[in-house]
Amino acid sequence: MTETSPRQFETSHTGTFHGTKIAYRCIAGETHLPGPDEKPRVSLFSFSYLADAGDASARPVTFVFNGGPGSASLWLHMGAIGPRIVKVPGDAQPTGPGPYTVIDNALCNLDLTDLVFIDPPGTGFSTVLGETKYADVWGLEQDADVVAQFIKAWLTAHHRWASPRYLCGESYGTTRAVAVAGKLAGNLAGVSFNGIALISTILDFHAARFERGNLLPDACYLTTYAATAFYHGRAVTSLKLPDFLNEVRDFAANRYLPALFAGSRLDPAHHTEIRDRLAQYTGLSPDWLDRTRLRIDPPRFRRELLRDRGLSVGRLDSRYVGTDFDQVGESPEDDPASTAIDSAFVSTCNDYLARGLGIDWTRAYQPFNRDALKGWSWTPIKPEDGPTWPRYVNVAPILAKLLRDNPGLRVLVANGLYDLATPFGAVESTLAGNGIPPGRLRMTYYEAGHMMYLHDPSLAALVADLRQLIEP
């Protein structure tokens, strides 16, 4: 893309947040980030919401992004954290066609912290410049470098180096948050963080990579399968949901995973015992579990659980259901949770940017870039620290080191019980197995999915948890 001068759009607003009336500005615009030759190589677009609250130097600032990789920040921006959000049904029903409603977000934390929403290159209005190619910035290392560079540039441009600093990421954005914090903590970068909020977390991708020979995901996903079966009335239990999930946790770690490890060595009686317990927990038939060798991958589960009702359950939020063309497919045609909300978010975001923030560009705002997802480079962090043979991505050791090096760092890990994209069982396994002191993290759970803020009670709980991160 041809380089032009960075553009900015500034507007003034007022809102009442947590009972306090706040005057604030939104600066929506580009930041040009230079390469080693000092020529601009990336134009990163961000939305900075700045309260008119006296001395800003001591006021907290929170940097926010979504994940994908390939996602813009509109989901957290317009769904949970921004001062204006789209109103969607909280009971896992589709939003349907427009017009859609955008409301003042009384739960926005702008009374407590300034907010900066970041769109990585290739998403939103962010792009590459000059001779830079997207391949140069689409990757675990490359992306973290760009976002880290932006944060330092933002702190300098806004004279905010004295401010308490927070990161908030969702989904792959949690991977990004840890990677960025790791980069800014070392080599005299000088940007330590007071807190990191990880929403719908994935740090160790081995825990979610279903393939033959990798048994960990089967055990890690089981609690979310059980929660989903419980929600849809298919689990066989007399327990309340929290007690039921504790029982499933114990079974997954101490019975199910060892049985999978035994494989063909498992004796028939033990196989039958494990199969029947799986059937009770997941709502799947013993015969089906026999035919899958006791292994359950997410697309098959989503298609099989309610097959007798002609329904599939959602991936991002398994409370949602949808119908497929026929009733014999192995996997759902799409994700009912995603299709239920996409139009509402994308339509209201584009309208808000134009009419609410005065952004008069004709080019489209890119909510999700599938080319980024397909072309992402998954090179592990600091590959020189390990062997040269193929490795999977795991940034949890970086989080462990951040906690060791920064005694004041607080971390919130927010989990949706019905999230089949980043299931809470995988998060629990990751945090337990990478040297992270459990007392340094706050784990929270919500009766919703990946975007738990779509459920009104969960949104209120999540906001309260984010506030506690900043003022414990």
CA proximity to 357, closest of 84, 9, 7: 9
DSSP 98-160: S--EEEE-TT-GGGT-EEEEEE-TTSBT-EE-TT--GGGT-BHHHHHHHHHHHHHHHHHHTT-
| Alpha carbon distance, N-terminus to C-terminus of the chain | 45
Strand pairing category for 101-104 and 195-201: unpaired
pLDDT over 80 (residue 391) = no
Q: Are strands 40-51 and 114-119 parallel, antiparallel or unpaired?
A: antiparallel
pLDDT band at 386 (very low <50, low <70, confident <90, very high): low
Give, in degrees to the nearest 5, the angle at Cα 147 between 146 and 153: 90
Measured CA to CA in angstroms, residue 37 lies from 33, 40, 41, 183, 237 at distances of 11, 9, 9, 21, 64
pLDDT tens-digit series, residues 98-155: 899 899 999 999 999 999 999 999 999 999 999 999 999 999 999 999 999 999 999 9
Phi/psi at 117 (5° precision) = -95, 130
Classify residue 380 by its DSSP letter.
P
Task: Answer yes or no: is pLDDT of 380 > 70.
Answer: no
Q: How far is CA 270 from the centre of its chain?
A: 38
SS3 328: coil
- Residue owning tokens 């919130």: 412
pLDDT cut 90: percent of the chain above it: 86
Q: How many CB atoms lie under 10 A from the CB of residue 405?
A: 11
**CA 399 – CA 33 distance, rounded (Å):** 26
Per-residue pLDDT for 390 more than 70?
no
For residue 449, give the amino acid letter: G
Residue range 313-326, pLDDT digits in tens: 999 999 999 999 88
> Distance between CA 81 and CA 66 in Å, rounded?
12
pLDDT, averaged across the chain: 94
Residue 264 has pLDDT above 90, yes or no: yes
DSSP 260-297: HHHGGGS-HHHHHHHHHHHHHHH---HHHHHHTTT---
Q: What are phi and psi of 93, to 5 degrees?
A: -105, 150
246-255, 302-311, 329-338: range with lowest mean pLDDT:
329-338
Q: Hey, which residues does 444 pair with through a beta bridge? A: 414
pLDDT in tens, 17-53: 999 999 999 999 999 999 999 999 999 999 999 999 8
Tokens standing for residue 246: 């504790």
pLDDT band for position 186 (50/70/90)?
confident
Is the pLDDT score of 383 beyond 90? no
Per-residue model confidence (pLDDT) at position 329: 87
Domains and CATH numbers, the chain: 8-206+341-470 (3.40.50.1820), 213-337 (no CATH)
Residue 438 has what pLDDT?
83
Residue 238 has pLDDT above 90, yes or no: yes
Handedness of CA 132, 186, 465, 111 (dihedral sign): negative
What does residue 364 show for φ and ψ, rounded to 5 degrees?
-75, 145
Nearest to 152 by CA among 26, 56, 63: 63
> How many CB atoms are located within 10 Å of the residue 266 CB?
18
Structure confidence at residue 384 (pLDDT): 57
Per DSSP, what are the bridge partners of residue 211? 214
Residue at token pair 């990163």 = 44
pTM: 0.95
Give the span between the Cα atoms of 292 and 249, in whole angstroms.
21
Residue 3 confidence (pLDDT) above 70: no
